[in-house]
Every structure is written in structure tokens, then in C-alpha cells.
Amino acid sequence: MNVPLVAASNYRPGGDRYYGRTDVSETIEAFEELLGGLEDGPAVAFSSGMAAVAAVLSLVPVGGEIALPGDCYQGVTQAVAAGAGAGRWRARVVPTSAVDEWRGAIDQCDLVWLESPTNPLLEVLDLDVLCTPRPGRRALIAVDNTFATPLAQRPLELGADLVVHSATKFIGGHSDLLAGAVVARDLALAGSLREHRALAGSVPGVLEAFLALRGARTLALRLGRGQESATVLADRLAGSPWVTRVRYPGRSDHATAEAAQRQLAGPGALLSFDTIGGVDEVETFLSALRVVTVATSLGGVESTAERRAALAGQEHLPPTLVRLSVGCEHVEDLWDDMVQAAATAFTTHG
Ligand SMILES: *Cc1c(COP(=O)(O)O)cnc(C)c1O
């Protein structure tokens, strides 16, 4: 029933493998086959999501231009800014819903980086419109599909060139591995990414590939459960006096509800909310949580919450915004936990 965990860095002559950095083991290949099957393209696995990001960025020629959304995974924002600061390329930040600006970027830039839903505002970009092939398109279009997963959206089908995953999140699903992947629209692009991986040395560990395969088996169950609970929690939070705003793609009051409805097969297991009071009250709320774990990262079986504005480069966020990754706990345990923490933190506000 299981793919063998083949740990090997070196090979005897006579087989079809030479060295583990250039010819990955069959455990890693099995993970690539699985993700490639889900996204419908050749997949290349990496040692982390950011290693996958670095591989895509390596495709940009020196002096080229990269467009990326204003709300974006903070590691990507930092990596693109660092390259721009070093004179490696130019960076263009585009507001998530500015379709005409995105079109301009697609015609003028070398790489257009799309993330949808975005982290952590959960805005849904119009991938239908942006990825559709049309004359004048110049840029490679990469879509970070970590939040949606291939179960909710498959960007290659819409016309994207590259799909990027942090398998550390929903695909692995148990907060016990770091891994990433890029799925390419064709073998030539996948070949360039493999070449980069061999020279950068960003091959995933074989145990990580094994664990990612194990995690992926329950992706649909975990995501289904998380999204069911997230739907309940988003509505209850929206009706709570200590919450000023809920951002959840499944709610009709969401900023990009129409695109979410049209594009995503499910609203997902992530939501963000802003609270009354200030940073001190939210921090009190977070430290009073006992079922929800206050930690970074997302997509695990355990629910995690984090005040994202505390991170470097996230100054565009409301200071009280809490990002909640809804895991597999019982929804009433999660809700009771948030209610008791709110009672501790927001009492003076009624
Ligand atoms: C976590 C994350 C990454 C980076 O992945 P790592 O596995 O942490 O390197 C990239 N994009 C998104 C959307 C993420 O959430």
C-alpha cells in the first residue's frame, strides 16, 4: 500500500540514477507524480515552499521585472524586494483587484506572481480573466495555490504557466515537514526548474516526501472538515460584538465574494478577523486561547491563530487582524475557546 521510503544519495553504476541531487529517489518522484496528477502538469518537488519560490524567481532574466500583489505571502514579498534591492530585477506591486493594471503587468513584465486567495486578507484574484491566454501576453504567470489547494482550484487549467505550493501547509497537513513544489505547464519549464534545483541543492528530504504522501491522502478530509468549521466560525464571529470585520471567501460580504463563488470549489479553511480594542486586547485574547494554538503557519490538523501585523513587511494590515487556520478539532471546542478568550480580553468594551 505504501511507496517505499528510499533513502539514497549515491548510486552504483548500471541503473538509471547517478546522484541524489540530480536524480531524486523514487519516494520524491512519487510525491511529484501525486501533485502533478492533482494539478495536471509535471511537478518538481523542493525542500520548502520558499525553495520552490526561489526556483520560479530564477527564471527571471537579470534586469527583468516581476509583478506581485500588494497582499502576498510575506516571504515572497521579502524575496522579491531583496532581489530588487540588489539590482537583480525590478518589482511592481499591483493592487489585488486592479484588473487593468494586472493586464499591463502581464504584457510588460517577465514574471507575474499571483496568489489567490491572498495571505492574509483572503482576497480572490480573478484568475479566470488574468490567466486566459491572449495576444500580447509576455510574462510567465505563476500562481501560489497553497491556500486553495488543487482541490479548490487548478490554475494550469485556467492558463497559468506555473503553480507553486508550500506542501508544508495543507498538503503535508500535520506541521511535521517542510516541502514545496512547482507544477509546470510543460516539460521544458519543469526541466528548467529541475536544473535550478540540482544546482541550488534544494531537493526535499526523502522522509519529507514520504510524510507529504501520507498527509496528502487525507487532504480532502482535513480540508473539508476545516472548511465546514470555518464557515460556522466566520458567521458566529461576524455576529460577535468584539469582532469588527470578518474576511472569509465563503461569506457574501467578502470583498471578492463574486470571484470566490465563481472560481473556488470551496471557501477554504482560513479566515481573518479584526477586533475591537487595540493590540494589547488582541494579544490578551490570543494568549487566553487554549484549544487554538497561537503560532505561525497554517493548514495543519491543529487550528492556529496569529496577529499578522506583528510580522515585518506587513504594515498594510489592520493592527488587530487575526488570521485563523481552522483545523480538525470539534467546531464547538474551537468556538467555546474563542468565546472564553474574548471574555477575558474584551470585557471593558462590553
Ligand atoms: C508558507 C507559505 C509559503 C512558503 O512556504 P514554506 O514551506 O514555509 O517555505 C509560500 N506561500 C504561501 C502562500 C505560504 O503560506
DSSP string of 203-246, one letter each residue? PPPHHHHHHHHHHHTTHHHHHHHHHHHHHHHHHHHHT-TTEEEE
Ligand 1, residues 169, 208, 297, 325: which to mutate, most atoms within 8 A of Cβ? 169
Give Dmax over CA atoms of the chain in angstroms: 75
What percent of the chain stands above pLDDT 70? Answer: 99
- Asked if residue 47 has its Cβ within 6 Å of ligand 1, the reply is no
Sorted by sequence, the CB contacts under 8 Å of residue 280 that are 6+ apart come out as: none
Count CB atoms within 10 A of the CB of residue 280: 10
pLDDT per residue as tens digits for the range 29-79: 999 999 999 999 999 999 999 999 999 999 999 999 999 999 999 999 999
- Asked if residue 119 has its Cβ within 6 Å of ligand 1, the reply is yes
Pairing of strands 65-69, 270-275: unpaired
Residues listed for the chain: 350
Write the residue with the smallest CA distance to atom 2 of ligand 1: 166
- Classified as helix, coil or strand, 66 is strand
Per the prediction, the chain carries an average pLDDT of 96
Pairing of strands 180-184, 293-294: unpaired
What percent of the chain stands above pLDDT 90? Answer: 96
Burial class (CB in 10 A: 0-12, 13-18, 19+), 241: exposed
- Report d(CA 336, CA 274) in Å as an integer: 18
Q: Output the pLDDT for position 348.
A: 61
- Report d(CA 148, CA 167) in Å as an integer: 12
Count CB atoms within 10 A of the CB of residue 15: 8
Cell of 258: 463574486
In the DSSP assignment, the letter for residue 283 is: H
- Asked if residue 208 has its Cβ within 6 Å of ligand 1, the reply is no
- Report d(CA 268, CA 249) in Å as an integer: 8
Pair 242, 274: CB distance under 8 Å: no
* pLDDT over 80 at 210, yes or no: yes
Pair 68, 113: CB distance under 8 Å: yes
CA 51 to ligand 1 center in whole angstroms: 9
In the chain, the amino acid numbered 185 is R
Pair 115, 72: CB distance under 8 Å: yes
* pLDDT over 60 at 349, yes or no: no
* pTM reported for the whole predicted model: 0.97
Q: Output the pLDDT for position 312.
A: 85
As a whole number, mean pLDDT of residues 1-20 equals 95
Q: Which atom of ligand 1 is nearest to the CA of 115?
A: 13
CA 183 to ligand 1 center in whole angstroms: 15
CA 35 to ligand 1 center in whole angstroms: 16
pLDDT per residue as tens digits for the range 288-337: 999 999 999 999 999 999 999 999 888 889 999 999 999 999 999 999 99
Q: Which atom of ligand 1 is nearest to the CA of 51?
A: 9
